[in-house]
Amino acid sequence: MKKISLLIPVYNEEASLDALYTALVPLLDNTHPALKDRYEWEVMMIDDGSRDNTHAILLRLHLRDPRIRYARLSRNFGKENAMLAGFDRVTGDCMVIMDADLQHPVDTIPEMIAQWEDGWEDVYGRRLSRGKESILRKGLTKVYYSLLNRSTRVDVLPDVGDFRLLDRKAIDAIRGMRESQRYTKGLYCWVGFKKKGVDFVTADRIAGETKMKPGRLLNLALEGITSYTTAPLRFASVAGFIISLASIAYMIYVVCKTLIFGEPIQGFPTLICTILFLGGCQLIALGIIGEYIGKIYNETKQRPAYIVAEESGDSCPDTSDTDNKTTTP
């Protein structure tokens, strides 16, 4: 019997977990009407350093139903790193990643599995609506993806998130990428594999509130650009080149003008504007270079992407990311 893993990163989700479990039971028991076959199921919840009752609830769920497994990270490492902890632990022939807040409808999973059975290796959920999100977030998301995709060869699909089914081959490929500042959405696209979209409507959060506050989203967005493309560096050099050309042209103009008409002491505003403008450009370019150097610095430390404090059962393949360095495919 084929085995399907569900990977669910969980951060302060005490209010959603029981409803999530209830929603998953028809799948786990193979009684969901849309399931065409019977499967062995495993749920891997990664408690990303929750500060509420999440851990106690996970433990209770695990004791009640051993198909629910969990790993508790030693602190909040962020969803991207929590997902890597899950990638390292799931044992299924394929894996479905979903959120704990039931924004990703459980009823879409059988359809994803059917596509996987047809030979697709990365079946991604495509949002038909983005649920209760501010107009600002929707608009910025659109601009962001168009900028990101203009600067890379491998496109990151807009309106596609982490809700997806990955075949074992894709799981192992992504698991092999150990960068600790992760942008998994880019990795799904980078590793390739046969991709197929399945539409779904984002539901509203069942309980609690979003953990992806604007600051975090901005960080993730910058992470996305700097991990996925070096286009900003290219942009800085091209802009520098254009500004230099313009400066040379202006210099020639000023020299000629002075030679022909002489120069009464004037031009202070022009001078100050030029200095400020060039200074600003230099700072921006330095900032962009700094972003990349910061990333190199962080990656050279080779710290683990996450640390596990505790996990359910003894059957787990390993206990911390540091050990994985030797077992990584």
Binding site for Mg ion (CB under 5 A): 99, 101, 103
User: Comparing C-alpha atoms, which of 215, 220, 214 is closest to residue 81?
Assistant: 220
Window contacting ligand UDP (CB under 6 A); options: 93-101, 193-201, 248-256, 316-324:
93-101
Partner whose footprint covers residue 125, from ligand UDP, Mg ion, none (CB < 5 to 8 Å by kind) = none
Q: How far is the CB of 244 from ligand UDP (least distance, A)?
A: 42
Q: How far is the CB of 6 from ligand UDP (least distance, A)?
A: 12
- Quickly list H helices, 31-162: 54-64, 79-89, 109-117, 135-150
Q: Is 151 in the site for ligand UDP (CB under 6 A)?
A: no
| Cα–Cα distance measured from residue 41 to residue 43, given in angstroms and rounded to the nearest whole number | 7
- Choice between 86 and 232, CB closer to ligand UDP: 86
- Choice between 62 and 104, CB closer to ligand UDP: 104
Q: Is 76 in the site for ligand UDP (CB under 6 A)?
A: yes
- Choice between 155 and 209, CB closer to ligand UDP: 209
- Choice between 4 and 6, CB closer to ligand UDP: 6
- Choice between 233 and 307, CB closer to ligand UDP: 307
- Choice between 73 and 189, CB closer to ligand UDP: 73
How many helices and strands, by DSSP H and E, does the chain display? Answer: 11, 8
Q: Is 223 in the site for ligand UDP (CB under 6 A)?
A: no
What is the signed CA dihedral for 205, 42, 47, 190, rounded to 10 degrees? -80
Residue 39, both tokens: 């499967």
Q: How far is the CB of 32 from Mg ion (least distance, A)?
A: 22
Q: How far is the CB of 63 from ligand UDP (least distance, A)?
A: 21
Q: How far is the CB of 255 from ligand UDP (least distance, A)?
A: 57
User: Pairing mode, if any, of strands 195-200 and 122-127?
Assistant: parallel
Binding residue (CB under 6 A) for ligand UDP from 25, 63, 201, 212: 212
Asked if residue 4 lies in contact with residue 113, where contact means CB atoms within 8 angstroms, the answer is yes
CA angle at residue 216 from 213 to 218, to 5 degrees?
Answer: 110
Size of the site for ligand UDP (CB under 6 A): 16
Q: Is 210 in the site for ligand UDP (CB under 6 A)?
A: yes
Binding residue (CB under 6 A) for ligand UDP from 14, 48, 167, 223: 48
| Cα–Cα distance measured from residue 41 to residue 2, given in angstroms and rounded to the nearest whole number | 9
Q: Which residues contact 40 (CB under 8 A, 6 or more apart)?
A: 1, 2, 3, 4, 92
Window contacting ligand UDP (CB under 6 A); options: 8-16, 191-199, 229-237, 290-298:
8-16
Asked if residue 138 lies in contact with residue 202, where contact means CB atoms within 8 angstroms, the answer is no
Q: Is 101 in the site for ligand UDP (CB under 6 A)?
A: yes
Asked if residue 98 lies in contact with residue 8, where contact means CB atoms within 8 angstroms, the answer is yes
Phi-psi bin for 129: left (phi > 0), alpha (psi -120 to 50), beta? Answer: beta
Q: How far is the CB of 207 from Mg ion (least distance, A)?
A: 11
Taking the CA of residue 152 as centre, how many other CA atoms within 13 Å lie in the half-sphere pointing to its CB?
Answer: 21
> Using N-to-C axis directions, what is the helix angle for 231-261 and 268-300, rounded to 10°?
160
Q: How far is the CB of 211 from Mg ion (least distance, A)?
A: 8
Q: Is 87 in the site for ligand UDP (CB under 6 A)?
A: no
Binding residues (CB under 6 A) for ligand UDP: these are 9-11, 13, 48, 76, 78-79, 82, 99-101, 103, 210-212
